[in-house]
Structure 1
Amino acid sequence: MSFTPGTDDQQRVREESGAHTYGRYLEEFEVGDVYKHWPAKTVTESDDHLFCLITMNHHPLHLNDVYASKSQQGRNVVVGPLVYSLALGMSVSDVSGKAIANLATEELSHPNPVFHGDTLFVETEVLEKKESKSKPDRGVVKVHTRVYNQDGVLVAEFKRLVLVPRKTPGA
């Protein structure tokens, strides 16, 4: 099989070659399944500072070692939206790689801090799967994503609704 940029559906070519599928069709989700996303990600000071500066979040807890050393954590804390963004991104290949749209994020929480040098491990559980009543070519999947550090401590979690296509519309 050959590939010519711009003429082949890249996802179709990948799947036909036997490569891991990118995302899932509605039929491939099963309530109760848990996907352990790979690879894990070590959050560096550079990651945190760049994210803070790009997003204009200049809180000294994230950027100033002297200020952070006097906080209750005693050191810099990674900004929460970066932790969420990493977890969301790490889940794309297993959850939303075929998504038509991300519809909602619910119940986002950060029960414990993430520090520079922590490694994040992410898993997602399928909570619900519903076929669309108005459009037979799609459905909505609700998932719960959990983020743990290298010590197995829960550092973030959220639920989201994802609109995904069906592999065989109306079947």
Structure 2
Amino acid sequence: MIERYLEDFTVGQIFGSGRIVVEKEDIKAFAAKFDPQPFHLDEAAAHDTIFGGLAASGWHTAAMTMRLLVDSEIKPAGGIVGAGFDEFRWPRPVRPGDELRLESEVLDVRPSQSRPHQGLIKMRTTTLNQVDQPVQVMIANLVVLRRPGSSASAIQGRG
């Protein structure tokens, strides 16, 4: 897949991804290193929490989402470079055996006023489980390179 420059993105574009199956051992390993709370580490301890069973750390979900993004067809020129989030939430837990995939929608495309060689795209990425329930929703602002030789007027008014 060829890298996409700012001029290649349009409001309303939707991108999909491959899938990741969440393994119990991976939930525990990530938690042991980065988020060592009982509901991420031990099934018995997790049973009596608000999760009612073992659940992946939200940060583990975010890391798996990042992997799916990198492997997806989005491929912004310069890489997936975040400039911040407008929204980031976890509406339901991720469980062992869940199969995650992404749907990403371009919400806005705009050239930078101060850096003419780049711009920003605003993208909503929803991480879905195997029954199409959202487990993470984020609206991110991504820095994307402009096509060499392009003019700012070529993409004005796209969002």
Which aligned pairs between 1:57-136 and structure 2 lie closer than 5 A? 57-92=35-70, 93=72, 94-96=74-76, 98-99=78-79, 101-136=81-116
Q: Percent of aligned positions with the same letter in both sequences? A: 28
**Maintained 8 Å contact 1:136/1:169:** no
Aligned to 1:145: 125
1:89-140 Cα offsets, whole Å, 9 max, x none, are 2113415462383110231111111101100011110000111112221111
**Maintained 8 Å contact 1:141/1:162:** yes
Paired with 1:138 and 1:52, the residues of 2 have a C-alpha distance of 37
Deviation at 1:27, TM superposition (A): 0.8
**Maintained 8 Å contact 2:32/2:41:** no
**Maintained 8 Å contact 1:99/1:162:** no
After superposing the two structures, state which structure 1 stretch, 97-106 or 23-32, moved more: 97-106
Asked if 1:48 is matched to 2:27, the reply is yes
Paired with 1:150 and 1:84, the residues of 2 have a C-alpha distance of 17
Aligned to 1:154: 134
1:8-54 Cα offsets, whole Å, 9 max, x none, are xxxxxxxxxxxx12x421011111001011x2001111211121122
**Maintained 8 Å contact 1:62/1:76:** yes
For these two proteins, the number of residue pairs brought into alignment is 149
Partner of 1:112, secondary structure, is coil
Runs (4 or more) in structure 1 with deviation over 6 Å come to none
**One-letter code of the match for 2:14?**
V
Paired with 1:100 and 1:44, the residues of 2 have a C-alpha distance of 26
Using the size of structure 1 for normalisation, the TM-score is 0.80
Aligned to 1:3: none
RMSD: 1.7
Paired with 2:131 and 2:65, the residues of 1 have a C-alpha distance of 17
Structure 1's unaligned 5+ residue stretches are 1-19
Paired with 1:130 and 1:112, the residues of 2 have a C-alpha distance of 32
Using the size of structure 2 for normalisation, the TM-score is 0.86
Larger radius of gyration: 1
